[in-house]
Chain A
Amino acid sequence: MADARPTIFVVDDDASVRDAISNLLEAVGLRAKLFASTEEFWKAPRPNGPSCLVLDVRLPGVSGLEFQEQLAKANLSIPIIFITAHGDVPMTSRAMKAGAIEFLMKPFQKEDLLAAVHHGLDRDRIRREEQAEVSILQSRVEQLTSREREVMDLVVTGLINKQIGAQLGLSEVTVKIHRSRVMQKMEAASLADLVRMSDKLKPRPRR
């Protein structure tokens, strides 16, 4: 899959801090999109590429932590890097527990911000790749007949053709034919490959 250019969203109500962050990101070749408030963020279109969010904790209206919850509720799993003027331990641990990448104290150092941003982008990239792979696999599964799907479900549990035939009331030869059609349609190179695919297709709790 072609990797679109990464975007770093910056939400801070202070214009000079926002500009400075964008200047630094631009200087290291990263693209930033700036927002003065969380409402602005919701309204704006979000480019389809790996992204992460640099978020001020102290915002007028919705606080950064509340915004983190809102994003989770809206199923927007974008990695978050918090920036704050004062280190509040309970606040930090709450944010980290909810999956934040990093909690940076203002003024922060370049290395810390960039490391966090890259970490966030990597995480988002992996998540996107996984998601893309899952959707490809899903479209392949949809091409299977219901019989083939049954055969596949049993194959991945490690049963041999004879056992599968017995369970489904089919001859061993028929199972063999279904099995090779499954391998073909799923584009699986080996049995191990098919097992891995079926694992990916299982609904998982999100990170």
Chain B
Amino acid sequence: MQTDVLPEGPIRSLIRHCGFTLLFVMAAFVPTLLLQRLFPYPFLFLFFGAVMASAWFGGTAAGLFAVLLSTVLVEYFFVPPFYSFSISTTAEAYFAAFVACALAASWVSSAKKKSEVALKEALDQLEVRVSERTAELMKTQTELAHLSQVLSMGELTSSIAHEINQPLTAVVTHGHACIEWLSASPPNLEKTRQTVERIIQDGTRAGAVLSRIRALVKKEAPAKTWLDVNEVIHELTTFLRDEAVRRGIAIRTDLVPGLPKVKADRVQLQQVLLNLMMNGMDAMAETTNFPKELLISARANEADVMVRVEDTGVGLNAETAEKVFQPFFTTKPHGIGMGLSISRSIVEAHEGRLWATPRSSGGAIFEFTLPVRPRDSDG
């Protein structure tokens, strides 16, 4: 099978086809010659076999060649008068029938072969298409997995908030109880001592939750690869376009082509950008006097790539510009207040900086840098 696929010159292929056509015809001729002594009538059926075999393996041309060879041999050896190229009138019809049958055999065989080859090709093509589609699907799936990782960030932070809020509630409540035990007369010192012990336990538990999370984040951290920031921005703007349209916001990008690559964790970089962009869009929820516009730009100098997310929303003042990075600081009814705090630690883990400034004509600017040549890079 494989040999058919190998490249082969047309001459060599012709010689090969002629070769086995000769072989088949000889394989029919010799036994026929021997059998002739035993049968009163020429036994020509083996030639049909030779013709069919030649047409099968060599195609139409080989089939016809086999018909020609067989015809010559049969005419000379087996059509009376034997051992001569002349034909007796009684054998004419017989000989003609032989030629016709041989031609028919050749045609049937090569046609069958052709359709079989076509079928095989169709199957092969189908197989290739299927494997291509599978590869595509797998790629989409990994992309989706990444995106869902980015999106489940909100859920993750909410469960973290809950985990910490529980011991925190216990600490605050015990604290109140402690004051009560102390202000009884006489103060109940035994109860006070027990309560303080519980406070220590619960405080320790909150700490344990935090270090568990830290371990979790650390484990996921070192997946740094060389990334094109423009590409990541492009991915996210595409991803958020529908949402922006729904909110009546225009997303614009201002990217310098050919930015140097940065070594970063793709998912984490997506998280930072997604956070900044979602915040920008949230901040414009109540804007009425501006056009709602989210502008993402990227620049580079020798040391850093700088990414900037600007909005025309409620904006910040110099005082809140730093406050927003505090964990759990939020002004949104359903906000968690972890987005910017996490984003800043991600950027800092990449040896960059993330900060916010008020935009002169209203709105906010969030900007971060990523070093082009981080210390731990091997390049």
Residues of A whose CB lies within 8 Å of any CB of B are: 14, 16-17, 19-21, 23-24, 26-28, 58, 83, 85-89, 106-110, 113
Contact = CB atoms under 8 A, between A and B. Distances in A.
20 contacts: A14-B170, A16-B166, A16-B167, A16-B198, A16-B201, A17-B169, A17-B173, A20-B171, A20-B173, A20-B177, A20-B198, A24-B174, A26-B177, A28-B180, A85-B165, A86-B334, A107-B171, A109-B176, A110-B176, A113-B173
A107 B165 contact: yes
Contact of B174 (A23, A89, A113): A23
Nearest to A104: B169
A17 B206 CA distance: 13
B180 A20 contact: no
Given A27-B191, A28-B180, A20 B174 contact: yes
Interface string B166-203: 11111111101101110010001001000100100110
A65 to B, nearest CB: 17
A23 B162 contact: no
Contacts of A21: 173
Contacts of B205: 16
B-side binding surface: helix, strand, loop or mixed? helix
Interface string B144-172: 00000000000000100110011111111
A11 B169 CA distance: 15
Interface of B: 158, 161-162, 165-174, 176-177, 179-181, 184, 188, 191, 195, 198, 201-202, 205, 333-334
Contacts of B201: 16
A113 B173 CA distance: 10
B366 to A, nearest CB: 26
A16 B201 CA distance: 9
B85 to A, nearest CB: 102
- Looking at A20, A23, A28, A83, which has the most chain B CB atoms within 10 Å of its CB? A20
